[in-house]
Amino acid sequence: MAIIATTFGTGLSYAGQLPFKRVTAGEMGQKQQRMVVVRAEGGGGGINPEIRKNEEKVVDSVVVTELSKNITPYCRCWRSGTFPLCDGSHVKHNKANGDNVGPLLLKKQ
Ligand code: FES
């Protein structure tokens, strides 16, 4: 996975997959303004590296009143071995990529 960071207003911008190609904001056709955009690119295959790739779209639904635990973590990093549930794989992903993703917590009331 490549992380693309774009910093406008500082005179430096980065675009493309690793290794980064250094370009100016003007070369990217952007107005000079202060903002940072960081997004994950899935290396040509999207953000999902391997979860249920035989499905056209991965969609899950949960009836919240039927949750078995008081708090149920759902994966948002697409790295869980128990997807759609979080198995803590985001910790390894965050350390390896300097990322900060974490699960969606569904709380039973
Ligand atoms: Fe994906 Fe925890 S394993 S958010």
What pTM did the predictor assign? 0.55
Residue 57 falls in the annotated catalytic set: yes
CA of 11 to the centre of ligand 1 (A): 35
Domains of the chain: 67-107 (3.40.5.90)
CB 5 within 8 A of CB 17: no
CB of 84 closer than 6 angstroms to any ligand 1 atom? no
Q: Per the structure block, which two tokens stand in for 4?
A: 């693309």
Cβ neighbors of 64 (< 8 A, separation 6 or more) are 106, 108
Could you read off the pLDDT tens digit of each residue along the chain, which spans 109 residues? 344 333 333 333 333 333 334 444 455 555 444 444 445 554 555 788 889 989 998 988 877 887 889 999 999 999 999 999 999 999 999 999 999 999 999 988 7
Other C-beta atoms within 10 Å of 77: how many?
A: 20
Taking the C-alpha atoms of residue 21 and residue 106, their distance in angstroms, rounded to an integer, is 40
CB of 90 closer than 6 angstroms to any ligand 1 atom? yes
